[in-house]
Structure formats: structure tokens, C-alpha cells
Amino acid sequence: MDSPTGFRLAADALLLLHALFVAFVVLTVPLVLAGRWRRWAWVRNPWLRLAHLLAIAVVVAQAWFGVVCPLTTWEMALRARAGEAVYAGAFMAHWLGVLLYYRAPAWVFTAVYTVFALLVAATWLWVPPRPLRGRAIANEKENANGR
């Protein structure tokens, strides 16, 4: 993949992955809250909820410690290797870039990420996930009874 097109495609793919990560972090909260109201069992999945909590915790930790997201760093490195200075590439790359990268002081992002993380933590109180241990014990009992 030594061609500018290959690096540009890799950068676009990484940007799409980044957008999906952001969508997961942001959209899981309203889905969990809607799931409580609609009684969707999947919103209480402990693995989903732990992954969501871990995802926002990583974002907040990066913001607090002033670390640039590795996805952003890798994408920009790929764009540089492709000879791009800005998001002048494909249509999707341009618009995903517009949605993900906007200008504001760093403290604004840190505050927003922190408040959002508190909202994610609050969903654990409003819509608690099923316990991990309880599920394992229930599965063991089912397996023992089925033997």
C-alpha cells in the first residue's frame, strides 16, 4: 500500500471507524433510556454496558490528560502519507470529518466529555445492567439441570 490512493482509502476507513465509535458512545445513552421505557432486554446486557462505560472512560481520560485520540493521529498520518493536507478527499471522508472535527478550546471538550460520562454513569442507576455473576450462576444451574 505505497500509493497515495491506498493511504487515502485507509485514512477514510479509519475515519469511518472513528465515526462508528463516536456513534456507539453517543447513541447508546438514548437507546438505553428508550430501552428502559420500551422494556428492551438487550439494553441491560452487562457486556454492552461495560463496553460503553469503558469507551467513554477512555475518551474522558484522554481529554483530562491532553492525549490526542490515536484514531485521529493514525488517520492524519495516513492522510499525510497520501499527500493530503485537509479533508479534500472523498465525499464521505469530508462530511465525516466535518461531523467529528470541530474547533473549540480544549477545556470545552473536556467538560462536555466529563458531563457525558456522568450521564453514562447515571444510566447505570436508572437502567441497571444485569449482573455478570448472576447470569453465570443461572447458566451453571441450567447446565446442571440439563445433564
Tens digit of each residue's pLDDT (9 = 90 or more) over 78-135:
988 988 764 444 445 556 667 667 777 888 888 989 999 999 999 999 999 999 875 5
Residue 105 DSSP class: -
Provide the number of structural domains found in the chain. Answer: 1
pLDDT of res. 67: 87
Q: Compute how many other C-beta atoms are within 10 angstroms of the C-beta atom of residue 15.
A: 27
| Count of H-run helices and E-run strands, the chain | 6, 0
pLDDT at 21 > cutoff 70 = yes
pLDDT of res. 145: 53
Q: How far apart are alpha carbons 49 and 36 in whole angstroms? A: 13
Q: How far apart are alpha carbons 50 and 53 in whole angstroms? A: 5
Cell numbers 474547533: residue: 103
Residue 23 DSSP class: H
pLDDT of res. 147: 46
Domain that holds residue 104: 4-146
Contact (Cβ atoms closer than 8 angstroms) between residue 89 and residue 12:
yes
Tens digit of each residue's pLDDT (9 = 90 or more) over 32-62:
999 999 999 999 999 999 999 999 999 999 9
Sign of the alpha-carbon dihedral angle for 97, 103, 107, 113: negative
